[in-house]
Amino acid sequence: MALIRKRRLTDQQTRRIEAQQTRRIDEDDTGELLEGLIITHYGRQLLVQQMGVDNNDSTQNDSESAIPRKTIWRCHARTNLPVLVTGDRVRFQVDENTELGVITALHPRDSLLTRPDRYHKVKPVAANVTLIVVVFAALPVPSPMLIDRYLVACQQADIQALLVLGKADLLTEEDGLRNLLAEYNALGYDTLTVETDGDLSELIAKMADKTVVFVGQSGVGKSSLINALIPDANLKVNIISENSALGQHTTTTTTLLPIPNGGALIDSPGIREFGVWHLTVDAIRNGFIEMYPYYGMCRFRNCLHKNEPGCALIAAAAEGKVLPRRLASLNRLEDEAREADKL
Ligand SMILES: Nc1nc2c(ncn2[C@@H]2O[C@H](COP(=O)(O)OP(=O)(O)OP(=O)(O)O)[C@@H](O)[C@H]2O)c(=O)[nH]1
Ligand SMILES: [Mg+2]
Ligand SMILES: [Zn+2]
């Protein structure tokens, strides 16, 4: 008896192992385990662009895969995964009958843009962004302190910044904006002057193979530039609304658009608020890169760099080693952060 029972168990085990192996081989051979890029999400649904699919390659149609050739899949994520966002690189599988996908793994992120939600918890917004284009122009009149804020946020996210002075046709000798741009260039930031209807080839070159977001005050010309760079940027993806747990109608669209010359652009209302996300005092100090040599050199350890004797930053500004306007920005942003922390 014991022998038979053991034998039957073994058979079951063998069959199970065989089945598992077959499934694994199937997945590998037919490409059922797919690599993808999240191009947008609304509620719990995500649209995943299948990577490694070349639509011009006719030989792919000879593949024995049961999965139809298609590049964008509607997917859900396994519940054990963290919150996924546009720009995430994932591994997924598609049910050949329903053509719905399930995301099974998240690849490590190179960068993550986050914002505080209304409960002061950090919420991811976009992943793997590699370039933030900070746009300003003669109209609306720029606030250098807002530009400084954006640069702090770029530094905090550890993402390269490109400062773009737009609407070049509106520039005058008196507005001082070319000089403002030159000041940032002297600090080490990449800069560019453009006009939406003009030659955008330098901007296109700087965006090549990057995952880019555009930030800047309302009206500076971000959408105009995006439309000029990506002719079909206006194409809207079907928006599906889901009722959130709070019973509110939510439509979240953070969309990734391919740039014709390589790279991608991520756009969303959330990203447009980038500059006003809460910044900590430490993040602000880190964002003023030219001040690094002077931090910790003041007479008083708790120096606020405003009017204290022996302040290394005030001395550096007086000697022309740092811009007084940048020190004023640092002071203002730090004050704001301390005020917000008290609330
Ligand atoms: N003179 C001039 N006007 C421009 C240029 N580019 C855009 N504009 C105008 O600037 C205005 C605002 O442009 P948008 O592209 O809507 O600005 P935006 O940054 O997307 O604004 P929000 O979506 O509100 O954040 C529009 O009236 C554009 O026609 C330019 O190069 N020169
Ligand atoms: Mg716009
Ligand atoms: Zn000081």
Tell whether the model's pLDDT for residue 17 goes beyond 90: no
User: What integer pLDDT is reported at residue 32 of this predicted model?
Assistant: 78
What residues form DSSP beta bridges with 136? 165
| pLDDT tens-digit readout, 286-326 | 999 999 999 999 999 999 999 999 999 999 999 999 999 99
**Which CATH number is 49's domain given?**
2.40.50.140
The segment with the largest mean pLDDT, out of 50-54, 156-160, 260-264, is 156-160
Residues with CB under 6 A from ligand 1: 166-167, 169-170, 195-196, 216, 218-224, 272
The Cα-based distances of 232 to 60, 228, 260, 321 in angstroms read 27, 9, 10, 46
* Nearest listed ligand to the Cα of residue 135: 1
Q: Are residues 213 and 333 both part of a single domain?
A: no
Q: Are residues 323 and 239 both part of a single domain?
A: no
Q: Are residues 293 and 179 both part of a single domain?
A: no
User: What integer pLDDT is reported at residue 69 of this predicted model?
Assistant: 63
Q: Are residues 236 and 334 both part of a single domain?
A: no
In a domain, 163, yes or no: yes
Judged by average pLDDT, the poorest of 10-24, 43-57, 60-74, 150-164 is 10-24
pLDDT band of 71, cuts 50, 70, 90:
confident
Tell the residue nearest (CA) to atom 4 of ligand 1. Answer: 167
For 170-198, what is the mean pLDDT? Answer: 97
* Nearest listed ligand to the Cα of residue 196: 1
User: What integer pLDDT is reported at residue 248 of this predicted model?
Assistant: 39
User: What integer pLDDT is reported at residue 64 of this predicted model?
Assistant: 54
Better-scored residue on pLDDT, 181 or 341: 181
Tell whether pTM > 0.75.
yes
Q: Say if residue 4 is exposed, middle or buried (CB neighbours under 10 Å; 0-12, 13-18, 19+).
A: exposed
CA 175 to ligand 1 center in whole angstroms: 18
Among residues 241, 260, 276, which one ends one of the domains? 276
Q: Are residues 251 and 315 both part of a single domain?
A: no
Tell the residue nearest (CA) to atom 8 of ligand 1. Answer: 221
Q: Are residues 305 and 218 both part of a single domain?
A: no
Better-scored residue on pLDDT, 281 or 342: 281
CA 138 to ligand 1 center in whole angstroms: 11
User: What integer pLDDT is reported at residue 245 of this predicted model?
Assistant: 41
CA 308 to ligand 3 center in whole angstroms: 7
CA 221 to ligand 2 center in whole angstroms: 7
* Nearest listed ligand to the Cα of residue 271: 1
**Which CATH number is 194's domain given?**
3.40.50.300
User: What integer pLDDT is reported at residue 122 of this predicted model?
Assistant: 82
User: What integer pLDDT is reported at residue 218 of this predicted model?
Assistant: 87
Tell the residue nearest (CA) to atom 28 of ligand 1. Answer: 221
Tell the residue nearest (CA) to atom 30 of ligand 1. Answer: 167
pLDDT band of 15, cuts 50, 70, 90:
low
Tell the residue nearest (CA) to atom 24 of ligand 1. Answer: 218
CA 195 to ligand 1 center in whole angstroms: 10
Tell the residue nearest (CA) to atom 32 of ligand 1. Answer: 167
| Ion ligand 3: residue ranges with CB closer than 5 A | 298, 303, 305, 311, 313
Q: Are residues 99 and 154 both part of a single domain?
A: no
Determine the atom of ligand 1 nearest the C-alpha atom of 197: 31
Residue 95, helix vs strand vs coil: coil
Mean pLDDT, the chain, integer: 83
The domain tally of the chain equals 3
Tell me the C-alpha distance between 31 and 67, whole Å. 8
User: What integer pLDDT is reported at residue 313 of this predicted model?
Assistant: 98
For the chain, list the strands marked E by DSSP: 34-42, 45-50, 72-77, 89-94, 101-106, 112-116, 122-127, 131-136, 160-165, 190-193, 211-215, 242-243, 249-250, 255-258, 264-267
In a domain, 99, yes or no: yes
Q: In the chain, pLDDT over 90 holds for what percent of residues?
A: 60
Q: Which residues span the domain enclosing 190?
A: 127-276
Phi-psi sector, 99: left (phi>0), alpha (psi -120 to 50), beta: left
The segment with the largest mean pLDDT, out of 43-57, 110-124, 142-156, is 142-156
Q: Are residues 183 and 245 both part of a single domain?
A: yes
pLDDT band of 22, cuts 50, 70, 90:
very low
For 6-12, what is the mean pLDDT? Answer: 53
Judged by average pLDDT, the poorest of 88-102, 108-122, 227-241 is 227-241
User: What integer pLDDT is reported at residue 250 of this predicted model?
Assistant: 41
User: What integer pLDDT is reported at residue 342 of this predicted model?
Assistant: 78
Tell the residue nearest (CA) to atom 13 of ligand 1. Answer: 221
Q: Are residues 257 and 132 both part of a single domain?
A: yes
Please give the structure tokens belonging to residue 168: 């070049």
CA 222 to ligand 1 center in whole angstroms: 6
For 108-134, what is the mean pLDDT? Answer: 89
**Which CATH number is 287's domain given?**
1.10.40.50
* Nearest listed ligand to the Cα of residue 334: 3
User: What integer pLDDT is reported at residue 78 of this predicted model?
Assistant: 95
pLDDT band of 25, cuts 50, 70, 90:
very low
Q: Are residues 308 and 234 both part of a single domain?
A: no
In a domain, 15, yes or no: no
User: What integer pLDDT is reported at residue 68 of this predicted model?
Assistant: 61
Tell me the C-alpha distance between 123 and 117, whole Å. 6
User: What integer pLDDT is reported at residue 298 of this predicted model?
Assistant: 98
In a domain, 4, yes or no: no
In a domain, 141, yes or no: yes
Determine the atom of ligand 1 nearest the C-alpha atom of 220: 19
Q: In the chain, pLDDT over 70 holds for what percent of residues?
A: 80
Better-scored residue on pLDDT, 134 or 275: 134
Tell whether the model's pLDDT for residue 183 goes beyond 80: yes
Q: Are residues 226 and 300 both part of a single domain?
A: no
Tell me the C-alpha distance between 99 and 32, whole Å. 12
In a domain, 121, yes or no: no
pLDDT band of 4, cuts 50, 70, 90:
very low
Q: Are residues 289 and 262 both part of a single domain?
A: no
User: What integer pLDDT is reported at residue 29 of this predicted model?
Assistant: 40
CA 274 to ligand 2 center in whole angstroms: 14
* Nearest listed ligand to the Cα of residue 300: 3
Among residues 106, 136, 171, which one ends one of the domains? 106
Mutate which of 224, 225, 226, 276 for ligand 1? The one with the most ligand atoms within 8 Å of its CB, which is 224
In a domain, 11, yes or no: no
The rounded Cα 105 to chain-centroid distance in angstroms is 19
Tell the residue nearest (CA) to atom 10 of ligand 1. Answer: 221
In a domain, 335, yes or no: yes
